Amino acid sequence: MTKLIRDEIQDDLLGRGYSRRQMMRAAMMFGGTAAALTLNPEIAFAQGPQKTRIQIGSNECWTGPMAPGLAAVASAAAQSNRYSPNDEHGQLVKTISKVENVPEDHIITWPGSNTALARSVLAYCSPTKGLVTADPTYETVGGAAKWLGAPVKAVPLKADYTHDVKAMLAANPNAGVYYVCNPNNPTGTMTPAAEIEWLVNNKPAGSMVVIDEAYIHWTTDYPGNSARHMAVAGKDVLIMRTFSKIFGMAGMRVGYTMGRPELLAKLRLHDAGALSGQLPIPSAACAVASLTDNASIAARRKMLMDNRAMTVDFLTKRGLKLIGPSEANMLMIDWKTKTSKEMQEAFRNQGVLIARVFPTWPTVSRISIGSKADMEGFFAAFNKVVSA
Ligand code: PLP
């Protein structure tokens, strides 16, 4: 790292009130340390026992990359003695721009969206400008803020399980980042666009509204319900996307952020020009080929909706309370008389991996929606676990 860049990073962090110790932690965040690894709760959890038969614990897709994506991987892998034989990275940005109708300079790609979430906290929070999240929600931003020593307020979801944006602003009227996961993980619920727009229009100057749309492709009203128009309109928003869900590419690590160019540049500051965000070309090529495979996207959406409806029907007929309505590839079940930890263990003994525990709701478990066969396997395990 050149002295010039190092000084710029130090000035940025010291200027925002970080101590030398916190600066060390910032430096460790993207360095493959234990801290970085624990930032992705789904990965940490998915590294479970290998003998599991049915994996419905990490909100992954039940199937792999789309066929044109796999063909592109093979071709790119064969040429990967070159850094960028066919401008794979440029092609990815161009394709995202076309599909999303967002200018190319409003897009930045990453090896997965978790790094972008953590970077948004590093770039826009500080010891005096905290993070506001919902409770429960996806934990990466909260984990990053705690690691860095930025204050965190976690505001309970409303009774309909949407984000309480007014309470979020009231919880810290001077925050650096307000995080809205839409649809929310773990509830799958959608917060209406008008609520998010209210937050964007009323938040303090200089802060960011980070809108995590990891699961947006599964929702009924997609693509009309995405907040991407606010990025194009130049608002203080960072829209986070991933290829880990509907595109079935969690292990390939591709994600992107949409926002004004100068907001995106700030997310890269701490790279020190090292291009750490450069993607492997097979992953980039797979993403390009998948983005425009509209037939597969439609087929996966339908399959998910069918399998989710089948699972809702199975569980509600057995008198279980579901939290929702979920628009994503997950459901939350309130067991009422059993803890989620006990149920996780009971299902694991049947070869079914369900999600980790969400401390706010100790009797509620999250399951991901998988293939029809996955869900039938879950039903069989359910019958054994519940009758026991
Ligand atoms: N955002 C949300 C809401 C998620 O649930 C996940 C992973 O499960 C991610 C981001 C991480 O995505 P990626 O695999 O792109 O890092």
Q: Are residues 161 and 216 in the same domain?
A: yes
What's the full length of the chain, in residues? 388
Within a domain: residue 46?
Answer: no
CB half-sphere exposure, 262, CA atoms < 13 A:
4
Q: Are residues 325 and 276 in the same domain?
A: no
Residue of 200, 205, 202 lying closest to 233 (CA atoms): 200
State what percent of residues in the chain have pLDDT above 90: 82
**Cα 103 from Cα 113, distance rounded (Å):** 19
**Residue 300 lies in domain:** 51-62+294-387
Query: pLDDT for 211-260, tens place per residue?
Result: 999 999 999 999 999 999 999 999 999 999 999 999 999 999 999 999 99
Within a domain: residue 166?
Answer: yes
Query: pLDDT for 110-149, tens place per residue?
Result: 999 999 999 999 999 999 999 999 999 999 999 999 999 9
Q: Are residues 271 and 360 in the same domain?
A: no
Kindly report the pTM of this predicted structure: 0.94
Give the atom of ligand 1 at the shortest distance from the alpha carbon of 242: 15
Write out residues with Cβ below 6 Å of ligand 1.
40, 42, 59, 112-114, 138, 181, 185, 212, 214, 242, 244, 250, 255
Of 291, 313, 340, the residue at which a domain comes to its end is 291
Report the chain's terminal Cα–Cα distance, integer Å.
60
Question: What is the chain's alpha carbon radius of gyration, rounded to the nearest angstrom?
Answer: 21
Give the atom of ligand 1 at the shortest distance from the alpha carbon of 250: 14
Give the atom of ligand 1 at the shortest distance from the alpha carbon of 60: 8
Specify whether the CB–CB gap between 327 and 333 falls below 8 A: no
* Protein residue closest via CA to atom 1 of ligand 1: 214
**What is the pLDDT at residue 325?**
96
What does DSSP assign to residue 252? G
Query: pLDDT for 330-387, tens place per residue?
Result: 999 999 999 999 999 999 999 999 998 999 999 999 999 999 999 999 999 999 999 7
Q: What is the CATH number of the domain that holds 30?
A: 3.40.640.10
Mean pLDDT, the chain, integer: 92
Within a domain: residue 212?
Answer: yes
* Residue among 138, 210, 211 to mutate when testing ligand 1 (max atoms within 8 A of CB): 138
Q: Are residues 272 and 299 in the same domain?
A: no
* Ligand 1 center–CA 184 separation, angstroms: 11
* Residue among 115, 119, 180, 185 to mutate when testing ligand 1 (max atoms within 8 A of CB): 185
Within a domain: residue 193?
Answer: yes
Q: How many domains does the chain have?
A: 2
State what percent of residues in the chain have pLDDT above 70: 91
